[in-house]
Amino acid sequence: MNPFALHGFSFLFFYIGLGVVTLVALRYWFRISEPAPSDMPRFNDPYLIAYLRGGEEEAIRVTTISLADRGLLVFEGDQLKRASNDRDLAQRDIERAVLQAFAKPASGSAALTDKGARRACEAYKKALIKTGLMAGPAVYSKRLVSVGVAAVILMGTAGYKVQLALSQGRHNVGFLIMLALLFAAILIGVWRMRRTGAGDAAVADMKQLFKRLKDRAKTLKSGGQTNELAMLLGVFGLTALSASAFPMIDRIYPTPRADSGSSCSSSSSCSSSCGGGCGGGGCGG
Amino acid sequence: MEAAVDDPLGAFVRDRVAGGEPDRVAGGEPDRVAGGEPDRVGLGWRGDLAAGIFAHLDRIDLVELIADDYFKADAKTLRPLQLLSSQVPLTLHGVAMGLAGSEPVDDARLLAMGRLIDALKPESWSEHLAFVRSGGFEIGHLAAPPRRESNVAAAIANIERATRVIAAAPRLENIATLVEPPGSPLSEPAWTGTILDGAGAPMLLDLHNLYANARNTGQSPEALLAAMPLARVQGVHLSGGHWIDEPAMSGRTAGQRLLDDHVHDVPEDVFGLLAVLAARVPQPLEVIIERDGAYPDFDVLLGQVDAARAALARGRAHRHPATLKAAA
């Protein structure tokens, strides 16, 4: 069957199908051609994880909440303010930068656009590009070839069909041109994706490893000293925490969140070193 | 015969050990000591502790995974664990092979352990000196078998078979028992030592199990520790337990028994035993703190990690002259 012999909606459906298949194939190609790094960064920094998952603003959000949770940022009315002049209490550059952003009382979202805080994220960007979890110039250049091939397929198909239609005296090509432009925009978006395939996998793997903790997020205490809260936020974002347990987050960033329940559905982590073996002798293991 | 075409275990073994004998983890020989490796302290991996472990990778030297949880895992399920292994050294811990049973160890479990080791590349693996099944019947917990000459040979055969399949000897863990296994002419140290010597395997010494067994049988924990084959100890488990009431039974008055439950903090006495162990042996020790529930704040667990380090340092500072000589 010659698809160019199709007319009207029949061809549009064919073109949509072609576009979807091309985009899926492109994503798959990215995933297999952007291999896992040989040297993973250490994921003991919640802001690094947040940056990988959601970019600068997400890293700054997690930092702000972590600082507020630790009492280094305090509320003054509805605004946040640095609690102490001692910036040494902050452990990382991004924490010091965010504290500086709140040297004067400001709304919680003020730090999101603070130049110092955004500059502090640069180190994360460099580290993640270096380890191959985020796309850098080399990855973008490499992607350009495959995106170019996809663009030739999609734009070429649309262009040829438009030319064919016009030569046959049919002018109902508006939808096709709109679809072609939409796919062009999506292709640019796919080309510009921040994370590599390995980066996507790392985020998914971290979510899997932290799933049990997310399930019992209600039990986390505010003001903890061990960074568990920041790690959870780094991996899952603000939606990981219930508004009732952490009202402070709603005051800083009023966003809708779902209360998370507790469950023990993960077979991989519900069992213990006893396995099924706890019995009369205790765990014994 | 393992050469049979339809024998998956045989094919697996051939793939793993092609070209030579399987590696055997040294049992605390002096050459390992000469390497000058430091003692290491870590935690058992539990999903509930994920954030705490990741946030404190600078204070946690290694993590122990329960292997049996992942025996049926597909590649997608194992991928997050591979990420974990890129962050911190792993050791795998099996719970249900039943190496001290009189029946041959289950091939399927050996295959599963071997595949898991291939996928995660842990530094070591371990199993219990326990029996867990007989005649196809799973008894449902780690049981201490009668300590007799007659089952020593079966245990050694099981360990040797596991060593061949996995291509590395397991560290074998002493288990806790509320009562002395009936029909046991051999003491726990003699029985354990005979098996480890016979199989040439290293030991994972669970100090809370040892402590509980000593308290439950009226022995001195220090004396029981001293009698164990300490030269073979490479790994150490620390955990907690609680006292349970023992009803009066024929000829015995009511009393109490110490139950190893992994949901209580490590007792001070057990840290003391770790210091004694560190003073008596020259080889580096890998210490894992096991916690299976009733999780405290993570800083409490970090405190126990620090306490274990302190106990090791205390012991190393008071090292027995004989061990200093061996180390030299």
Probe site for chain B from A270, A273, A274, A278 (most B CB atoms < 10 A) = A273
When CB atoms are compared, the residue of B48, B82, B206 closest to A216 is B48
DSSP H/E element including A82: strand A79-82
Confidence of residue B227 (pLDDT cuts 50, 70, 90): very high
| pLDDT for the residue B1 | 37
| Residue B186 domain-assigned (yes or no) | yes
Residue B121 CB neighbour total at 10 angstroms: 12
Contact A279 B141 (CB under 8 A): yes
Domain identity same for A53 and A180: no
Question: Total structural domains in chain B?
Answer: 1
| Residue B20 domain-assigned (yes or no) | no
* Minimum distance, in Å, between the CA of residue B259 and any CA atom of chain A: 5
Contact B56 A283 (CB under 8 A): no
| Residue A91 domain-assigned (yes or no) | yes
Range with top average pLDDT, A220-224, B130-134, B175-179:
B175-179
Confidence of residue A278 (pLDDT cuts 50, 70, 90): very low
Chain B residues whose beta carbon lies within 8 Å of the beta carbon of residue A44: 54-58, 87
Q: Is B54 strand, coil or helix?
A: helix
When CB atoms are compared, the residue of B83, B87, B260 closest to A283 is B260
| pLDDT for the residue B10 | 59
B81-90: average pLDDT? 95
Chain A residues whose beta carbon lies within 8 Å of the beta carbon of residue B141: 274, 276-281, 284
When CB atoms are compared, the residue of B46, B80, B130 closest to A284 is B130
Chain A residues whose beta carbon lies within 8 Å of the beta carbon of residue B237: 285
Contact A276 B73 (CB under 8 A): no
When CB atoms are compared, the residue of A40, A276, A281 closest to B96 is A276
Please tell me the total number of residues recorded for chain B in this structure.
Answer: 328
Cβ A284 vs Cβ B176: under 8 Å? yes
Q: Is A263 strand, coil or helix?
A: coil
Contact B87 A46 (CB under 8 A): no
Q: Which domain holds residue A105?
A: 46-130
Domain identity same for A8 and A120: no
| Residue B38 domain-assigned (yes or no) | yes
Q: Token pair 């520790």 is at which residue?
A: B225
| Residue A79 domain-assigned (yes or no) | yes
pLDDT at A210 over 70: yes
Contact A40 B83 (CB under 8 A): yes
| Residue B15 domain-assigned (yes or no) | no
Domain identity same for A174 and A51: no
Chain A residues whose beta carbon lies within 8 Å of the beta carbon of residue B78: none
| Residue A92 domain-assigned (yes or no) | yes
| pLDDT for the residue B92 | 97
Q: Largest Cα–Cα distance in chain A?
A: 88
pLDDT at A86 over 80: no
In whole angstroms, give the CA distance from residue B173 to residue B72: 24
Angle among Cα A135, A236, B56 to the nearest 5 degrees reads 90
Q: At what angle do helices B107-120 and B149-166 cross, to 10 degrees?
A: 40
Asked which of A192, A214, A239 is the last residue of a domain, the reply is A192
How many beta-carbon pairs below 8 A join chains A and B?
188
* Minimum distance, in Å, between the CA of residue B92 and any CA atom of chain A: 11
Residue of B nearest to A216 (CA): B48
| pLDDT for the residue B320 | 63
Whole-number Cα distances in Å, B70 to A18, A271, B65: 40, 11, 9
Confidence of residue B182 (pLDDT cuts 50, 70, 90): confident
Within 13 Å, how many C-alpha atoms sit on residue A85's CB side? Answer: 0
Percentage above 70 pLDDT, chain A: 85
| Residue A217 domain-assigned (yes or no) | no
| pLDDT for the residue B35 | 46
In whole angstroms, give the CA distance from residue B227 to residue B236: 16
In whole angstroms, give the CA distance from residue A205 to residue B53: 15
Question: Total structural domains in chain A?
Answer: 2
Angle among Cα A54, A56, A58 to the nearest 5 degrees reads 50
In whole angstroms, give the CA distance from residue B66 to residue B90: 10
Chain A residues whose beta carbon lies within 8 Å of the beta carbon of residue B300: none
In whole angstroms, give the CA distance from residue A157 to residue B159: 65
| Residue A81 domain-assigned (yes or no) | yes
- What backbone phi and psi angles, to 5 degrees, belong to B117? -65, -40
* pLDDT tens figures, A150-192: 999 999 999 999 999 999 888 889 999 999 999 999 999 999 9
When CB atoms are compared, the residue of B44, B55, B209 closest to A44 is B55
Cα A195 → chain centroid: 8
Residue A110 CB neighbour total at 10 angstroms: 18
Residue of A nearest to B209 (CA): A284
In whole angstroms, give the CA distance from residue B260 to residue B242: 7
Domain identity same for A125 and A146: no
Q: Which long-range contacts (CB under 8 A, 24 or more apart) does A198-202 make?
A: A198/A34, A198/A35, A198/A36, A198/A37, A198/A132, A198/A133, A199/A52, A199/A128, A199/A132, A199/A133, A199/A134, A199/A135, A200/A31, A201/A31, A201/A36, A201/B79, A202/A40, A202/A43, A202/A52, A202/A133, A202/B83
* Minimum distance, in Å, between the CA of residue B236 and any CA atom of chain A: 11
Among residues A177, A186, A118, A116, the alpha carbon closest in space to that of A150 is found at: A186
In whole angstroms, give the CA distance from residue B325 to residue B328: 5
Position with higher pLDDT, B200 vs A39: B200
Contact A228 B298 (CB under 8 A): yes
In whole angstroms, give the CA distance from residue A34 to residue A129: 12
Chain B residues whose beta carbon lies within 8 Å of the beta carbon of residue A209: 47, 50, 54, 80-81, 83-84
Q: Which domain holds residue B117?
A: 27-243+255-327
Residue of B nearest to A281 (CA): B177
Contact A281 B56 (CB under 8 A): no
Probe site for chain A from B63, B65, B86 (most A CB atoms < 10 A) = B86
| Residue B12 domain-assigned (yes or no) | no
Query: In the structure encoding, which two tokens stand for residue A224, read together?
Result: 């903890």
| pLDDT for the residue A249 | 85
pLDDT at B328 over 70: no
Domain identity same for A56 and A90: yes
Q: Is A143 strand, coil or helix?
A: helix
Domain identity same for A155 and A187: yes
Domain identity same for A59 and A188: no
Contact A213 B47 (CB under 8 A): yes
* Minimum distance, in Å, between the CA of residue A191 and any CA atom of chain B: 26
* Minimum distance, in Å, between the CA of residue A96 and any CA atom of chain B: 19
Contact A277 B212 (CB under 8 A): no
Give chain B's end-to-end CA distance (angstroms, integer).
46
Q: At what angle do helices A8-33 and A197-209 cross, to 10 degrees?
A: 80
Asked which of A152, A172, A192 is the last residue of a domain, the reply is A192
Chain A residues whose beta carbon lies within 8 Å of the beta carbon of residue B212: 282
* pLDDT tens figures, B3-43: 444 555 556 555 554 444 333 333 333 333 334 689 999 99
Q: What is the mean pLDDT of chain A?
A: 85
In whole angstroms, give the CA distance from residue A224 to residue A229: 7
DSSP symbols for B1-12:
-TT-TT-HHHHH
When CB atoms are compared, the residue of A224, A230, A275 closest to B68 is A275
Asked which of A78, A100, A130 is the last residue of a domain, the reply is A130
Q: What is the mean pLDDT of chain B?
A: 86
* Across A24-33, A155-164, B96-105, B249-258, least confident range: B249-258
Residue of B nearest to A231 (CA): B51
* Minimum distance, in Å, between the CA of residue B87 and any CA atom of chain A: 6
* Minimum distance, in Å, between the CA of residue B142 and any CA atom of chain A: 5
pLDDT at A78 over 90: no
Find the CATH number of the domain harbouring B189: 3.20.20.150
* pLDDT tens figures, A251-275: 888 765 544 444 333 333 333 444 3
Give the E-state strand segments of chain B in sequence order: 40-44, 63-66, 90-93, 124-128, 131-134, 137-143, 171-173, 203-206, 233-238, 241-246, 255-260, 286-289
Domain identity same for A77 and A107: yes
| pLDDT for the residue B9 | 54
Residue of B nearest to A263 (CA): B48
Report the C-alpha dihedral over residues A248, A249, A252, A253, rounded to 10 degrees. -160
In whole angstroms, give the CA distance from residue B202 to residue B170: 7
| Residue B86 domain-assigned (yes or no) | yes
When CB atoms are compared, the residue of B49, B82, B128 closest to A285 is B128
In whole angstroms, give the CA distance from residue B217 to residue B239: 19
pLDDT at B292 over 50: yes
Among residues B243, B258, B100, B249, the alpha carbon closest in space to that of B170 is found at: B100
